[in-house]
Every structure is written in structure tokens, then in C-alpha cells.
Amino acid sequence: MPDTKKKMDEEFASLLMNAIQKNDIDAFRKEFLEVHPYDQAKFFVSQEEDIRKQIYTYLSPAEMAELFHNLDSEDQEKILHEMAPSYVAEMLAQMYADDAVDVLNELEKDQVVSYLTIMDDEAAKEIKDLLHYEEKTAGSIMTTEFVAISANKTIREAMKILKSEAPDAETIYYIYVVDDEKRLVGVLSLRDLIIADDNKLVSEVMNDRVVYVSVSEDQENVARMMMDYDFVALPVLDYQRHLLGIITVDDIMDVIEEEASEDYSKLAGVPDGEGNGYSAFSAAKKRLPWLIILLLLGMFTASLIGRFEETLNKVSILAVFIPLIAGMAGNTGTQALAIAVRGIALGESDHNSKVQLLQKEIGTGLIIGFVCGILVMLIVDVWQHNFYLGLLVGTAIFCTLTVSTMTGALIPLVMHKFKIDPAVASGPFITTLNDIISILIYFGLATLLMNYLV
């Protein structure tokens, strides 16, 4: 199947390039507009700037809007600079308002103002209304292109309204029912509308138990709710239940990708949003603050080892096992961290779930620590012919793995309780913290067993 798709893409690109070289606009448009906008975007972004500028003259702003939505943010920003401002403004006006807002949020304020100034007044107003909502909230990702009807309409009248408004709506699967003051009172699906008796009132057919979100709700919570209910759209209300907009499943897919990318970046200790578009200097500037903090913690770890210099001088073989113990502690801590952050991201953050998670991770740490401790103790005993050294390293492994697993699970839970993003408790941070704990345990035990080691 992949080979077939690749062959089709190559044939498609060959036909388009042939039309471009001949400047045959009709042939180009016939081939280009027949394929999905995603495939259009793939071809478009792979071309050189001069070819792209030629394609602009072949496509209307409305046609470009379909394509543009399928580009990633870095490509969008680059391509916007190639277009004439008037073309950009008209293209943004042709996009669904929420998609246009997503594009504008990535630009400098003076660029946004410039495009809105030359844009059609009605489209500009709709976009401005969405721009003022706080980023990463339901209001910032909702669209205002939806179908709403009055509860006192008949099904026949509702169907006429739907037919007239459907071309401008982002989705028509759900039809929202409002009262005279635009407050949401019910919802019915397209299926309900089709099978209902034409003479019935909408109020008789609608479902008045509507699941909705507040305009200020965090986008991550909205995504979780849509996954829980398997909705393709979700209404957004203000505090007085006025229907402001809807959030569609395609927007939620973008949110899920964005949140996953952000959490992954934080877990790795890398600033979110850093990509191919960043220069080496910009990337270093963003990473340095976090790495300097970790460097200082690392220096603290080194100073701890220095405090046990006398112990090391007496039993130099102890130094051999420092990387082993510290590395195992960091690994188990990071594993527990990943499980805890995943549980929080999936909404398993009530008190009982947290207690169960902590109990499970402590139990897991005890089992892993016991098995690894026994194994290391036997290996060291056979290798070094020193039972007490094996006992020391095995006990240190048992203690550090147990404590590290508990730490890895506990820290994100505590951070979540204090409304701090648990992903900030990144892998490098947990690893460095567990280095400190493991060194204290290891050399503390070594000092206690010193008489048996020398």
C-alpha cells in the first residue's frame, strides 16, 4: 500500500509540474483541485519559492485557505511572508475563524493588526472576537461557524434553516437549540432531524441534557471530555449559558498533538516549541537556564561524594559502583514519573486514584529493588570475593530503587496538587535528584559497614 501511494504521489507531482512548466492553468487546476487538501499541501510545500509564487496566481484565496490549513505552523509562517498582504487577508477571511486565529496567534502583533485592518469587516470582527480569549482555553480553539435554531421551530422549518446555513458551518452533525436570548437549551443530531416528523416542534425532538464546556475551560480538559463522550463537536458557553461557539474533533486532535509534544518536551527538559526553525543560538538560549540548574544540582552531588572522601580512600572499590547505583536510581525514577504524568494526563487525578498509584509504585519499587539487590549482591560477592561488599551494594540498590520509584511517582502528584504542570518534573530533574538520594544512601551505608569492608 505505501508503494502504491508513493507511485500515485509521483504521478500527481509529475502532472502538476508539467502543467506549471507549460503555464497551463486549466490543466493544473483540474489535477490539483481533485485531490485532498492534505496532498495539495504536501506538493505545495515541497516546491521552491518561485514555483509556489506561480501557484498563488493559479489559486483563489479560498482555495489556498483549504490547502494552508494542512501546513504545520513553521511552514505557514514561512509561506505567509511570500504572499501579498491583501492575498493573505482574503485567505484568512475565507478560513474558519478558529483556524484563522490559530495562524494569527503564531505571528507578531503588528502583522496581526495589519492583516485585520485590510480584511473584510465582518470576517475581521469574527476573528477579533476569538483572539481576545486566553490561549489554551476553550474560547481560543472554538469556532463560531455552527448551526443554531429556535426551540419553537418545526422540524420542516429547521431543515430549511439547516440547508441555508450548512455551507458556512464547520460541522452540521449537531444542531444546537437556543432560546430567544441565545441561551443553549438543547441539541439534536442530524439523524434526529432527518427521521423526525416534519410537523413536530424542535423542542419535542431535542435532547435537553446537553454536555458543554465553559469558555474559560482548559483545552486539555476539553480534549479529555470529547474523548470520554466520543463527541465530534462540543458547545462552548459563557457563565449565563449563552452559546458562543463549538469545538470540533479536528481542533481536539490538534490539541492532543500539541499537549503531547509539550509534555514530551518538558519530560526531556527541552523548551516546548523548539524545532527545525530555531537557530543553534536560539536553541542554546532556551535550554541553558534549565541545564544550568541541573549543573548546579550535579555540583551538589559531586560535593556530597567529596564529603565521603575518607570512606573512598579506605575502600577505593566503592567508586566502581557509583555509576551503577546512580544510573539505576535515575532510570526507575523516570519510569515512575512517566506513569504518574500519564495518569494525570488521562484524568486519573482524584484522591483514590493518586493513593492507588502511589501504593502501586511503592510496591513496584520494593519488588524491583529486592530482585535487583539480590542479583547484584550475588554478582559482587562472586566477582570481588567479599560478602560484605556485595551486601552493601545490594542493600544500596534495594533502598535507592525503592525510594527513587516512590520519588518519581510522588513529585508529579504533589506538583499537580499545587496546580503546577507535572511534566515540569522532567526526566533530567528526577534523575539528578535521585543521584543525590542514591549517593547519600550508598555512602551512608558504606560508612556504617566500614569495619567489615577494610
Residues 305-350: pLDDT tens digits? Answer: 777 777 777 778 888 888 888 888 888 888 888 788 777 766 666 6
Instruction: Specify which residues 176 forms β-bridges with.
Output: 148, 187
Which tens digit of pLDDT belongs to each residue from 395-408? Answer: 999 999 999 999 88
Rg (the chain; Cα; Å): 30
Topology, domain 2-132: MgtE N-terminal fold (1.25.60)
DSSP class of 107:
S
Which helix H or strand E contains 244, and what residues bound it?
strand 243-248
Grid coordinates of 124: 475581521
Distance CA 267, CA 324 (A): 22
DSSP per-residue letters across 157-169: HHHHHHHHHGGG-
Specify the pairing of strand 174-178 against strand 148-150. parallel
* Fold of the CATH domain 280-453: Tetracycline Repressor; domain 2 (1.10.357)
Q: What is the pLDDT of residue 423?
A: 59
The DSSP secondary structure of 10-78, one letter per residue, reads: HHHHHHHHHHHHTT-HHHHHHHHTTS-HHHHHHHHHTS-HHHHHHHHHHS-HHHHHHHHTTS-HHHHHH
Strands of 80-183 (E only): list them: 148-150, 174-178
The band of 283, judged by pLDDT with boundaries at 50, 70 and 90, is low
**8-state DSSP, 401:** H
Residues 6+ apart with CB under 8 A from 297: 432, 433, 435, 436
What would the mean pLDDT of 185-195 be, rounded to a whole number? 93
Domain residue spans of the chain: 2-132, 148-249, 280-453
So what's the pLDDT on residue 357?
83
Tell how far CA 16 is from the center of its chain: 35
pLDDT, position 233: 92
CATH architecture assigned to 148-249: Roll (3.10)
Whether the pLDDT of residue 41 is over 80: the answer is yes
Least confident of 17-26, 101-110, 179-188, 374-383: 101-110
pLDDT value for 157? 94
The DSSP secondary-structure symbol of 237 reads E
Q: Tell me how far apart the alpha carbons of residues 265 and 434 are, in angstroms, rounded to a whole number.
A: 20
Query: Cell for 267?
Result: 519530560
Per residue in 417-454, pLDDT tens? 777 666 555 567 777 788 888 888 998 888 888 887 76
pLDDT of residue 168: 86
What residues contact 365, with CB distance under 8 A and at least 6 apart? Answer: 332, 336, 401, 402, 403, 404, 405, 406
